[in-house]
Amino acid sequence: MPIRWSAVKVNQAMNEVEARMDEAQIFLEQAAVAVQGARRIPALPSYIDHRLARLELEIRERYSRLKAGVQSIRGTIPDGAVEAELQQSRHGQQESLI
C-alpha cells in the first residue's frame, strides 16, 4: 500500500539533520575537552569535579542520543519506500483512477 507522505523528503530532512549534527559534534567535542581541562584544576573540590564529570558525560551522551533518534526516524520509513518514490518520480507520476 503506498504511503501518502514523502519518504524521500523525510530521508532528506534526516540527511540535513545529520549534517548539522556532524558540524556540531566538533564543537561538542571541544566543549568536552574544555570540561576535562577544568577537572584538572588543582585543589578542585570533589563536588565540583563530580558536576564537571556529569557535564562531560552529558555532552557526549547527548550527541549519541540524537544520532539514535535520527536512526529511529529512518527506521520508521517503510522498507523500499524511498527507492520506490525516487523511481516513481523518475518515470513521472500517474494519477490513480480509483
> For residues 37 and 53, is the Cβ–Cβ distance under 8 A?
no
For 42-55, the pLDDT digits (tens) are: 999 999 999 999 99
Q: Which residues of the chain have pLDDT under 50?
A: none
pTM: 0.72
Conformational region of residue 80, where left means phi above 0, alpha means psi within -120 to 50, and beta covers everything else: left
Distance CA 16, CA 48 (A): 37
Say what the pLDDT of residue 92 is. 65
pLDDT at 89: 79
Question: Could you tell me which residues come within 8 angstroms of residue 1 by beta carbon, excluding any fewer than 6 positions away?
Answer: none
| DSSP 3-state of 88 | helix
Return the domain boundaries, the chain. 7-74
